[in-house]
Amino acid sequence: MSDDVKRVAAFCAGEGDEKFGGNPAGVWLGAALPDEATMQRVAAEVGYSETAFAAPEGNGWRVRYFAPEAEVPFCGHATIALGAVLALQHGDGEFKLQTNHAAISVTGRREGTAIAASLQSPPTSSVPAPAALVDEVLALFGYTAADLDPRIPPALANGGAGHIILALNTRAALAAMRYDLAAGRTLSRREGWATIVLVHAESDGRFHARNPFASGGVYEDPATGAAAAALAGYLRDIGWPSPAIDIVQGEDMGVPCRLRAQAGAAAGSGVRVSGSARLIEGGAP
């Protein structure tokens, strides 16, 4: 069944037809979703950080997301990949999606050999992160409170999946990220986090990000749309000057990725996360 999975790189860097990088995701389309055990097995066989499984339902699509080790409630880059495959198979347009917890949408538009795609995330929320929990996360990475950017206090944020956000005050600190995968898995699963979001604000509108995905058995995700939605929603909550941010991610992994996140004006509203996608490994639908 894994042979039926399309391989798509989402949030690619580059211009025009010269796209490169991007976070690989699997996309499986069928008349009905397989059983949960089968979806988990296929996601493990594919080996990407997430695989999206989608089947027609009403006037849209029912979608579930699986990492190699567990199901996740929402995955941004796999949603962008799904939008690309749907656009290639059904033409450009907006596609309504129903996840386990929310009604969302993805738009796909063909641009030469690449596809431009954008998703509307589930509602967002954020609260300050407890000091003891922040200390535990800092210790996991070998950081201290002196490494934090005081303009963006640590927070627990959600844009379809839960994350903790830590803003670092230098790009060098972000580049030096290291942690023990087993310890990160234990902490993330205990707290129910999809990823740990480490960012550095180069300017009001440009961020660098890294996303350890230990809860899914992945050391680091090169581009994370769900985390981008949570981050943009949180920045809106604290009155950050720019409602739209460009996120540079994956460079420290050698997998350049680019994301754009535009927060809606209303508190708690979803975030529009955009990027480009390209088919990989002969995965044409």
Q: What tens digit of pLDDT does each residue of 70-110 get?
A: 999 999 999 999 999 999 999 999 999 999 999 999 999 99
Asked whether the predicted pLDDT for residue 284 surpasses 50, the reply is no
Give percent of the chain with pLDDT exceeding 90. 93
Look up residue 197 and give its two tokens. 């979001």
- pLDDT in the model for residue 18: 73
Distance CA 69, CA 88 (A): 29
Residue 28 parent element (H or E): strand 23-29
pLDDT band at 111 (very low <50, low <70, confident <90, very high): confident
- pLDDT in the model for residue 25: 97
Asked whether the predicted pLDDT for residue 14 surpasses 90, the reply is no
Among residues 84, 111, 118, 107, which one has the least CA distance to residue 18? 111
Contacts of residue 131, Cβ cutoff 8 Å, sequence gap at least 6? none
- pLDDT in the model for residue 17: 65
Determine the 3-state secondary structure of 271 from DSSP: strand
pLDDT band at 45 (very low <50, low <70, confident <90, very high): very high
Asked whether the predicted pLDDT for residue 201 surpasses 80, the reply is yes
pLDDT digits (tens, 9 = 90+) for 217-245: 899 999 999 999 999 999 999 999 999 99
- pLDDT in the model for residue 283: 47
- pLDDT in the model for residue 183: 98
Residue 23 parent element (H or E): strand 23-29
Least confident of 1-15, 77-91, 128-142: 1-15
CA distances from 253 to 88, 90, 148, 210, 282 (A): 29, 34, 22, 9, 23
8 Å CB contact between 217 and 231: no
CA distances from 8 to 127, 149, 181 (A): 34, 35, 26
